[in-house]
Homo-oligomer: A and B are copies of this chain.
Amino acid sequence: MTERLYLYDTTLRDGQQTQGVQFSTEEKRAIATALDALGVDYIEGGWPGANPTDSAFFDDAPKTRACLTAFGMTKRTGISAQNDDVLAGVLNAGTQAVCLVGKTHDFHVTTALGITLAENAENIAKSVAHLVAQGREALFDAEHFFDGYRANPDYALQTIRAAYDAGARWIVLCDTNGGTLPAEVGRITSEVIEAGIPGDYLGIHTHNDTENAVACTLAAVDAGARQVQGTLNGLGERCGNANLTALIPILLLKEPYASRYVTGVSLDALEGLTRTSRMLDEILNRVPMKQAAFVGSSAFAHKAGLHASAILKDPTTYEHIDPAVVGNVRIIPMSNQAGQSNLRRRLASAGLEVASGDPALARILEEVKARESEGYSYDTAQASFELLARAALGRMPDLFEVKRYRVTVERRKNKYDKMVSLSEAVVVVKVDGEKRLSVSESMDEDGSDRGPVNALSKALVKDLGQYSSTLDDMRLVDFKVRITQGGTEAVTRVIIDSEDGQGQRWSTVGVSANIVDASFEALLDAIRWKLIRDTSAGKTA
């Protein structure tokens, strides 16, 4: 007999409280779509009315199988739920489920809110009842519940009972300050159930301030809670929320959870976990955490010599799960045996068939390894990887040669005594035996400077002879820059995403201590890839 566990994702709300994180509406849409593909049950999209981004997200939210949830707070004292404009703003988002946070710790009621305990309990009851009357699924986020229960268990229970009696579908026990340890989370959750709130009405929301958020969540599930809240990659206020990227594989793969419970995440979807985690880092331009449980690039890297040799005999000797089930890969330094078959698959997907055992495979792996140690990364820059492989296979056509370039960035006062900047680029190429000089400046239609990479990009495509027309519909859609380690020096890695009129989208990488030069290299790769794809040059090589 398995029981259903419900997964509630708050990446878009509590995750946005991460220092340095500010999602755009478009990014919120992309993340919601990825969460839905993973199979979470609820997606908390933000607080409609509290800021323009959240409101815009709900106005045009993606269609999801998961239940989209709006977040807000219980009504204020002295106003009816019907007349509370903040609450109305939340309801206006029109979501099926609404989660309202309210106080359960007596100290906060009197200190932070400055109202009586009875008023607070009534605010909770009335707010939840209002949601239910509007036909919504009501969730109550019991803020500071564990601290509140320790201080005044009767009052803490009174607040959640108010929500439960008013018809809340879920009472979410929150360890808002993140200081409660797993054993106590388990004990208090059990006592709440003994006090009459059924476990299948209880959720758990923890924070990682003692590095125990995942363990606290498991302790609450062990005690009987049936909704698990968390965020992708453990984003969230301060040290973050419980990390769903760790919790989901635990619940699906590890005992006693795997046989006892079922969630909305399938084993098929689980294989997308590593990719989803990396995508979020990509959006946030964060360096993925190598040591992250399950999805980190080091999670299945076996550095100790004794471990690595045993792994080759039997991977279960030093692995608690098969990395493939979460979409991750095993790394055994000093052994590229594992790599060759993956490599052939990746080449085939780019239309490059290479026979098994071809010595070029080892050459390509070496080259990738050497370049990665210089700071390159081919995880996302698939187009640059294809060009590298073509070169190693002797299948790289001669397209054009860049002889030299020069970019100037200048900032000075204009004739109106206003500081303005301008970039100018000169590129000299040789195409079909002929030398061509092009010059461009970086100017918008409105006369503002778009910078040196823009100027370079325009000069580069301006006159490439027979190839120019193919590049007409190509444009740069994203540009990511990261400082990384190349050998012993810090270098700049630039990843460029390009797009064309046919809807093709491809990524290229450039690395240099010089950011303009790194950008130029990625631009060159982007152009070469497109020319190989779309002209006869690629076929004849």
Contacts and interface: CB of A to CB of B under 8 A. Distances in A.
A123 to B, nearest CB: 15
Nearest to A113: B310
A415 to B, nearest CB: 14
A411 B404 contact: yes
A532 interface: no
A132 interface: no
Contacts of A513: 448-451, 454
Given A19-B290, A19-B380, A208-B291, A239 B320 contact: no
Contacts of A380: 19-20
A211 B210 contact: no
B451 A514 contact: yes
Given A452-B514, A517-B449, A22 B214 contact: no
Interface in A486-541: 490, 492, 512-517, 520
A482 interface: yes
Interface string A433-469: 0000000001000001111111000000000000000
Interface in A232-249: 234, 237-240, 243, 246, 249
Contact of A18 (B181, B240, B298, B314): B298
Interface string A173-192: 00011110111000000000
Contact of A313 (B20, B111, B423): B111
Interface stretch (A55-63, A269-277, A300-308, A392-400): A300-308
Contacts of A345: none
Given A403-B412, A421-B514, A299 B209 contact: yes
Given A307-B237, A412-B403, A480 B482 contact: yes
Interface in A165-207: 176-179, 181-183
Nearest to A213: B211
A19 B285 contact: no
A296 interface: yes
B404 A442 contact: no
A418 interface: no
A17 B304 contact: yes
B412 A239 contact: no
B409 A452 contact: yes
Interface in A384-410: 403-410
A250 interface: yes
Contact of A483 (B237, B480, B490): B480
Contacts of A240: 291
B211 A243 contact: yes
Nearest to A425: B409
Nearest to A301: B19
Interface in A17-63: 17-20, 22, 24, 51
Contacts of A229: none
A303 B254 contact: no
Given A408-B407, A451-B514, A482 B481 contact: yes
B404 A412 contact: yes
22 contacts: A19-B290, A19-B379, A108-B317, A111-B313, A209-B299, A210-B320, A211-B243, A237-B307, A238-B291, A238-B299, A239-B291, A239-B298, A404-B410, A404-B413, A405-B411, A409-B516, A448-B513, A449-B513, A449-B514, A451-B514, A452-B515, A479-B492
Given A183-B222, A210-B249, A211-B243, 11 more contacts: A18-B298, A51-B336, A111-B313, A212-B218, A237-B302, A238-B302, A289-B289, A404-B413, A406-B408, A479-B483, A516-B516
